[in-house]
Structure 1
Amino acid sequence: MNDPLTQRMVFLTGLLVLAGVAGALLSPHFLQGSTVGYLLQYVPVLGVLGMAQTLVMLSGGPGIDLSVGATMSLVGLAIAAMFGAGVPLLLACAAGLVIGGLLGAVNAVLVCVLKVPSLMGTLATFFAYSGLALALTGGAPIGGIPDWFAGLAQGRFLGIPVHMWVVFVPLAVVLHVMLSRTRIGSHIYAAGNDERAAFLSGVKVWRLRFGLYCLSGVIAGLAAIMTLSWFQAARPDAGEGMELLSVTVAVLGGAHIFGGIGRISGTVLAVLIVTTLQVALQLANISQAWQLAAIGVLLICSVMADNAVGDRLRAAARRAAS
């Protein structure tokens, strides 16, 4: 319990319990068994975007990717358009992941090569990708997705949505292992903690961050595939608001905005907290405006808690890196 990162996990677990208690008090329907499946339906899309945001933040810079929601929308439209043009759906999905990586590479060029601050660079691509999605469709969704594809997001295995099993959980495990057990993970933390020291020790910092922005785009492509399965259509506004929610999940989960501190497990707990709170407020028929306000208050409390222990977290991370 003396480890600040462990304390953060305990703090998040406590928040999750409190969110569950609040849900039970707000609505008698919250404790029904069907609520679990309904709640977990929302977790994978926001969860994978939160993981992508966490990776970008961890590498420092400071880094942020405000285009993940717009990337998700644009990739979904590209997949649906390719399928409508006769490309097999699974092949179109694979091509969508490549397109996501290319859209992420645009961010990488802006931030890592042209040295545009990540906030401004990814905000610019957010507007560009969102505008392109609307311009190409006129704001109308692209349908025609076959019924069998709905099984990914709408199907259930042991009462849990299939995309939890085949996308969210595997991605979380792979990224956790990458960050905690591999050289790439140690390089990410090193770059986030002290960019100059990492560079002097042989870490290609700009190349590392370039790759993470590309990976963020690929993960946004995964989110697009899940959304396409869920809605059975590609919507130009599918990712609307997801960029800020993904930042909320990453920061709430313990990712330091200046890099070097954070865990995928924290992001997983954070997305469960946010989703539990959202579902509880929906079941209580509380308006969307108040839902957003509640998430904002939660984020403020998280940032205050992060500031209270931030110095201890950074000191512990530096000791671990050395």
Structure 2
Amino acid sequence: MTSTDPRTTVPKPGLWTRIQMASIEQLHIRLESLIVLIALATLMAILSPFFLSVSNFMNILLATSTIGVLAIAATYVLSSGGLDLSLGSVLGLSGVVGAAVAVKLGMPTPIAVLATIAAGAAAGLINGLVITRAFVPAFIVTLGMLGIARGLALVLSDGRVIYGLPKAMVYLGQGRPFGVPMPVIILVATAFVMHVLLAYTRYGRHTLAIGDNENAARTAGINVERHRLTLYTLSGGLAGLAGLLFATRINSGDPTAGITYELTAITAAIIGGTNLFGGRGSILGTMIGALIMGVLQNGLNLLAVQSYYQQMAIGAVLVLAVFIDQYQIRKESRV
């Protein structure tokens, strides 16, 4: 009979060690995503002679700016083991609120901008309060907010688009300092701040810890409920920022804006390496995922593929991304 010497037993990695290991593994996932992006862009360039034009490249970046901000929000919530299905509707509501404050109430641009982002943050705060205080599953809460935010946007706008935003506000969506679209600059700045927050701060470590093992996070002294509340508020605020970019780009507050955008944002986050079930997230990877979705949608538009086929393609990509992510996890667990 043989016995195992406890001195030779390999200890199980601690919570923080597993998070650091997951961060290292994200480098490989981002590399794979980058290869997919290059391959997809090459394919679209072959299929359409207009794909490689400068104007089309700018169109891709502009479209990616809105989805990219939403995808950052999805990354934070997903990496904590949560889910936010209300992102697209909150985007639409925020744009309507900002347009109503600027056009109907005649408020200055700074107030309208703050109102746009605050509307999104308020919706996220409500999500977080119901999830953490009433203990209702995030899927149900954010699905409910999806309908509430969309309905409220229609009520505030009387079901009509609110046109005529102030020039200073429109500049945020249509301005091009140094030839670079302003929404792209805002996206890059947002991604940089959110990357530093997730990868190099205690807040980011706590976010990943909750997603990796909520019970262990509680044992480590993390106030899980309070942290989740801030995460959903942050998610709503980022959706509000995305609504601001969308509204100022089209110079109007559209109550139907952002329909199914949450699906695209979640897909981009997962493609970039964020685990659907929490414990792993990468803002850099999410940006690559957002570019993949932008290139895919742009290429399908150039090829005159009808919109409902595009929705089918996005849904298929989401299922494929989750399948690959879970396959990698199972493969690593067997090693």
Q: Secondary structure at the match of 2:238?
A: helix
- Structure 1 position 158, deviation (Å): 4.4
Please give the residue correspondences for 1:227-238 in structure 2 after superposition, counting only pairs within 5 Å: 227-238=246-257
Q: Taking every aligned residue pair, what percent have the same amino acid on both sides?
A: 35
- Structure 1 position 78, deviation (Å): 1.3
Please give the residue correspondences for 1:61-210 in structure 2 after superposition, counting only pairs within 5 Å: 63-83=82-102, 84-165=104-185, 167-210=186-229
Runs of 4+ in 1 over 4 A off after TM superposition: 311-316
Q: Secondary structure at the match of 1:140?
A: coil
Count of aligned positions:
312
Instruction: Say whether the 8 Å CA contact 2:113–2:169 is kept in structure 1.
Output: no
Are residues 33 and 205 of structure 1, via their aligned partners in 2, closer, same or farther at CA, if it must alter by over 3 Å?
Answer: same
> 1:111, 1:292 → 2: CA distance?
29
Q: Does 1:57 align with 2:89?
A: no
Instruction: Say whether the 8 Å CA contact 1:193–1:314 is kept in structure 2.
Output: no
Are residues 168 and 197 of structure 1, via their aligned partners in 2, closer, same or farther at CA, if it must alter by over 3 Å?
Answer: same
Partner of 2:63: 42
Counterpart AA for 2:134: L
- Structure 1 position 312, deviation (Å): 6.3
Greater shift, 266-275 or 14-23, is seen at: 14-23
Counterpart AA for 1:154: Q
> 2:111, 2:294 → 1: CA distance?
31
> 1:87, 1:315 → 2: CA distance?
60
Greater shift, 287-296 or 101-110, is seen at: 287-296
- Structure 1 position 144, deviation (Å): 2.1
Alignment partner of 1:17 out of 28, 38, 46: 38
- Structure 1 position 270, deviation (Å): 0.2
- Structure 1 position 289, deviation (Å): 1.9
TM-score by length of 1: 0.92
> 1:33, 1:43 → 2: CA distance?
15
> 1:314, 1:169 → 2: CA distance?
35
> 1:190, 1:176 → 2: CA distance?
16
> 2:259, 2:155 → 1: CA distance?
15
Greater shift, 22-31 or 205-214, is seen at: 22-31
C-alpha deviations, 1:285-315, integer Å up to 9, x for none? 1111222222222222212210111246789
- Structure 1 position 214, deviation (Å): 0.4
Alignment partner of 2:265 out of 246, 258, 262: 246
Greater shift, 206-215 or 282-291, is seen at: 282-291
Q: Secondary structure at the match of 2:280?
A: coil
Counterpart AA for 1:33: V
Q: CA RMSD in A?
A: 1.9
Counterpart AA for 1:267: T
- Structure 1 position 157, deviation (Å): 3.6
- Give ranges in structure 1 of 5+ residues lacking alignment: 317-322
- Structure 1 position 151, deviation (Å): 2.3
Instruction: Say whether the 8 Å CA contact 2:109–2:168 is kept in structure 1.
Output: no
Instruction: Say whether the 8 Å CA contact 1:53–1:250 is kept in structure 2.
Output: yes
Alignment partner of 1:7 out of 3, 28, 34: 28
C-alpha deviations, 1:127-186, integer Å up to 9, x for none? 111111122323211112123432222222444311111x10111111111111111111
Alignment partner of 2:54 out of 29, 33, 36: 33
Counterpart AA for 1:286: V
Instruction: Say whether the 8 Å CA contact 2:267–2:321 is kept in structure 1.
Output: no
Are residues 99 and 315 of structure 1, via their aligned partners in 2, closer, same or farther at CA, if it must alter by over 3 Å?
Answer: farther
> 2:116, 2:317 → 1: CA distance?
34
Please give the residue correspondences for 1:265-304 in structure 2 after superposition, counting only pairs within 5 Å: 265-304=284-323
Larger Rg: 2
Are residues 116 and 149 of structure 1, via their aligned partners in 2, closer, same or farther at CA, if it must alter by over 3 Å?
Answer: same
C-alpha deviations, 1:19-64, integer Å up to 9, x for none? 101211221111222221111110111100010011011112xx11
